[in-house]
Structure 1
């Protein structure tokens, strides 16, 4: 089993807590990356599909979820979700995706999410927070923005979506690790700054950076849900901090 970064673990722990209260249905994940969110949803009884722009990412997902794919519970699609036919889902979920779009693309992404929601459906969007923490990783990953609560809520409101729940995640863990994270990313990925924004986006889903996105197995003794649980409680208590470097947003269509 992969040893996940502390920030990723904290995001998944919060998502699990929120989604566990929902009736399992059909989901779509946009930009599935390593597949951690899809794995969580499948383990909770959901079924659905994932879209990704990277062929290598799609191949990795197909290998990881070969059993679920053969059972008909999961499908992986190589391509642009915005160009795919509109389908109906109980849950539209994305993690670190919306910030990769320019302003027009952001509006198209949210409106497509709205149009794909079944009646009573939910859109969950996890995005980078705290604009003051713009850094080298945003540049390398092909980000256009980091969100404040106000800009996130307004982005959804413009597309006839209402944000029913928003909170900051990973504070203060990500903030404490921010200088080290910037150093590691700059040392390992600065060459990506020469790539186009689209190519940076494609390569942002799966990144094998030692001590940033990949960790030796023995660190699973520390990087696991049981050990991280006190930090999970802290991130919930500090969810209102404007310094939180991750924002979790749940939104619904005003008209559904």
Structure 2
């Protein structure tokens, strides 16, 4: 079945979608952001409020202070545009080994993560990673990408002739291709970018950047999903460790300079 009759219209529509909202991430990577940040921030704030109502927060004062201290140290080295925002970091009482970030400057840490992040620098690697997601507008980029690809497929379907079983099968295959070829790689790109930005943040805040590698080794030892990297939203542990080690020298030099000035972080 040929779907070329309306190819010019589809190409034009796709081009319009892709030309809207192009910008650059903090690393200089070109990104597609189509929605107002204010809209995503509101969504993030609403979601975070709901989570705080549904998931208990930790009543361990010491742990909460440690997490907040690490977050405060990282936020303090950010550019003014981000440092002066109303960041909210919450320690949720949940055994899952995880953390997350939402637009609107919201970060959630689960107590289960602290069994793997065994010192302040390993925790800083996690919190720095989540801060990077917010600053790099990854939430907006992902929602925008999903919206654009869905609209492009829907438009293509409408312009490609009469409905048929063959047509449906073709567009189902295209949908799978979009997920594996666009959405998942974008997510892995976001994770890798957040790792490297987080590495920079932790070094500048006086945390030992080498502990980021130790963290992911701990993660691997604790067990993880066996989903192949191709079909996962996250890079493999080995990929993350390799990327961190490649970018380690410059960040270690920053950390060593702070040590020489006795300005390393001291949260616990």
TM-score by length of 1: 0.25
**Which protein has the larger Cα radius of gyration, Structure 1 or Structure 2?**
2
Higher relative contact order (CA 8 A, sep 6+): 1
Tell me which protein shows more helix as a share of its residues: 2
Q: TM-score, normalised by structure 2?
A: 0.24
More strand by share: 1
